[in-house]
Amino acid sequence: MGGPPNSRSVVAAASYEARKFGIRSAMPCSKAAQLAPQAIFVSPRFEVYKEVSDRIREIFLEYTDRVEMLSLDEGYLDVTFNKRNILFAVTIAKEIRSEIFKRTELTASAGVGNSKFIAKLASEKNKPNGLTIVLPDDVIAFIDPLPVNSFHGVGKVTAQKMKELGIHIGKDLRAKNIDELVQHFGKMGIYYYKISRGEDEREVNSCRERKSLGAENTFDQDKIDREDLLQQLREVAIEVERRLKKEILPVKRSLSKLNFKISV
């Protein structure tokens, strides 16, 4: 999904079939076309995605109010005390996946675990359209063989630093003592120490606030005319204003910082 392959657009999302050719999100569409000349490019329909996302969230809310959406297509649910008094989380996961398909004709992957960290890792395990359950007694065995760059909070830079320290998988991370991890990673070392043991005290935050909002436009061709650039800036500013009015201003939040960036 993205703009025409002969434009400067980037890939917004890639199907699992496209990923087999090495196509990834944020890759220039021109490069994606080189990797897979037979690829079909479709334009994004964000309003449609938002509408479908809202419908899926409504399904979540039928089971629990403890819903924390991370994006249009991903979220955490705390079903410990659910509305239907269902005893097992796996039962709820199966029902929700079934309802999503029934109402939207979309498949969904789910991960069941005793923390956000484990549930997230589990949800990534059997994509697409998979269900992974990690029981409390199996947490360490589940974490140990996983590459550390799949852990929440471990980015490219940190993963490289861990690699230099001989930390490649969860088991390697768990072998390090907390003092050593703090020495190399500061306060995050405590977090890494805990997650390597399956410890994650973060709660599902159903009142999660959006921290930033923006808009952007990628030009098909270089623009150097001042008036043309100013007009493009006005259009982007208008779009930001529209989103502000819709998503932030209605809840009486204040604007603390405004960033403007031009990439060349």
DSSP letter, residue 151: S
**Contact of 57 with 67, CB cutoff 8 Å:** yes
Q: In Å, what is the CA distance from 227 to each residue of 82, 216, 231, 233, 234? A: 57, 18, 6, 10, 10
Q: Which long-range contacts (CB under 8 A, 24 or more apart) does 252-260 make?
A: 253/209, 259/214
Among the listed residues 28, 44, 34, 53, the one whose alpha carbon sits nearest the alpha carbon of residue 108: 53
Give SS3 for 125: helix
Catalytic residues: 74
Alpha-carbon radius of gyration of the chain: 22
